[in-house]
Amino acid sequence: RRPKNFPPGPLNVPLLGSIFHLSLENPLKDFEKLRKSYGDVYSIFLGREPAVVINGVKAMKEAMVTKAADFAGRPQGLFINEISDGKGVIMADYGSKWKEQRRFALMTLRNFGLGKNSMEERIHDEIKHIISTLEKNIGKTMSPKVMFHNAASNIICQVLFARRYEYDDELIKLFVEIFTEVSKIVNGLWATLYDAFPIIRNLPLPFQKAFKKMEIYKNLSRRMVSEHKETRVPGEPRDFIDCYLDELEKRVDEESSFSEEELIIYSLNLHFAGTDTTSNTLLTGFLYLMNYPHIQERCKHEIDRVLDGKDHVSFEDRHNMPYVQAVIHEVQRVANTVPLSVFHRTTRDTELMGYSIPRGTVIIQNLTSVLNEEGQWKFPHEFNPENFLNDQGEFVKPEAFMPFSAGPRVCLGEGLARMELFLIMVTLLRRFKFIWPEDAGEPDFTPVYGITLTPKPFSMKIQLRTPQ
Ligand code: HEM
């Protein structure tokens, strides 16, 4: 039964919840239909648990920004918590542990040069490897998937472990395989059944694969931490792991949320969150730019004009590239990389758009509904950089641009991701032309559903641009 004044929603079938109203393979269209029937704030049942789905920018801002602390919790005891042993930052519930761990990561990323040159240098170092992969394929057709996943994984590996891997290294293949496979299981059919029916949790069903994969990563991460402990010089950190170990030594009190096991899951969290997201956004970008060649050409002109005489692009150059900025933001809008965000939970009894929501209710942010909301965008249902340009051709960011979510739980890697997307896209568009292969048929822009949306596999033809 729905509590009093709870948001409305479809019939709840005892034990099964709203299972008949949602495709467990890809519920995004069903969420849209339910919004048409019940409004911007409605409820569904995940098994016996009621969950509130928030749609549209107005309700999203009221929850995530105006009533931020009320909506900043995370559900506990779900599949997604259990694959990370209830540790780490992503699924940490709202409270002092989460605050402490999040503050530490933001500070460490800043100290390692986010927004400053050193992070840019790291990204440029990785771009050299992307360029050399592309140069080997000039005049040919190649699938960009592995290259972008490896590049995104390496950039975050540099931050975490001060290490990168060659693209044919077995370890990087393993990392990427773990992340891409687990991201499809995390909010897929079997994870939903795991959450809804605790009785099946120990059965040998397909969700066990995710536990096995995560165990492999945890062992690798443990090995990395042990190696760091042997080679580190206290007070002279080389990377995130060293910083954490320094901090661990300072915090000897029993209340401290810092521990070696936390560190292992923390590095898994950052590596996972930083790989599949950025790479799928890049893939979406190149998929669209190949099929909208006039937009690719206009980017190239602006890039050549602004970088005239310069070797490298720097992140600061974005202020002089309104069109490229508009294109990258439009790519993020249509990529809709994390369509349902990460589930939240209310931390106290609260209200939203006039409805009452008790403490402990699961909150699903339908970011998709904001990123293509009619009334918020000039062209909500097409790929069009004009969505981010005003009449003077200046770059403007509408408030409905929320691919990183909003409020206190907003993506912790937003700064890093934005820097990666800008530096990688500008460098590659300046040097190469990307062409949709003649024999590739009509492009299919419909992504594959998971906690991240993934473009279907595609190939691109690479041409070297003549230097300007
Ligand atoms: C285009 C790339 C990315 C997108 C679209 C994206 C999107 C998101 C979204 C929607 C959330 C959930 C926010 C919420 O619960 O309200 C999130 C959380 C998070 N992201 Fe990202 N992300 C990206 C890249 C990254 C990168 C590169 C990192 C690594 C440094 C990262 C680390 C995290 C972490 C740690 C959280 C959990 C934050 C918390 O619970 O406090 N993300 N991200």
pLDDT, tens digit, 9 for 90 and up, residues 144-154: 999 999 999 99
**pLDDT score, position 335:** 98
How far is it, in rounded angstroms, from Cα 386 to Cα 323? 9
Count of positions (residues) in the chain = 468
Write down the ipTM of this complex: 0.99
User: Which two tokens mark 375?
Assistant: 């009334």
Confidence of residue 26 (pLDDT cuts 50, 70, 90): confident
Q: Among the atoms of ligand 1, which is closest to the Cα of residue 155?
A: 27
pLDDT above 80 for 385: yes
Strand, coil or helix: 235: coil
Nearest residue by C-alpha to atom 31 in ligand 1 = 413
Q: Among the atoms of ligand 1, which is closest to the Cα of residue 367?
A: 10
Distance 343 CA to ligand 1 centre (A): 12
Phi-psi region of 466 (alpha: psi -120 to 50; beta: other; left: phi over 0): beta
pLDDT above 80 for 187: no
With b for 16 or more beta-carbon neighbours within 10 A and e for fewer, the 256-279 pattern comes to ebbeeebbbbbbbbbbbbbbbbbb
Residue 284, Cβ density class (10 Å: 0-12 exposed, 13-18 middle, ≥19 buried):
buried
Confidence of residue 225 (pLDDT cuts 50, 70, 90): very high
Query: What would the mean pLDDT of 441-464 be, rounded to a whole number?
Result: 94
pLDDT above 50 for 393: yes
The β-bridge relationship of strands 141-142 and 49-54 is unpaired
The CATH architecture to which 19-464 belongs is Orthogonal Bundle (1.10)
Distance 214 CA to ligand 1 centre (A): 19
Residue at token pair 């190149």: 286
- 411 annotated ligand binder: yes
Report the residue among 404, 419, 454 best suited for mutation to probe ligand 1: largest number of ligand atoms under 8 A from its CB: 404
pLDDT digits (tens, 9 = 90+) for 261-307: 999 999 999 999 999 999 999 999 999 999 999 999 999 999 999 99
**pLDDT score, position 115:** 46
C-alpha dihedral (299, 300, 302, 307), degrees to nearest 10:
130
How far is it, in rounded angstroms, from Cα 87 to Cα 16? 29
- What contacts 387, CB < 8 A, 6 or more positions away? 326, 329, 330, 333, 377, 378, 379, 398
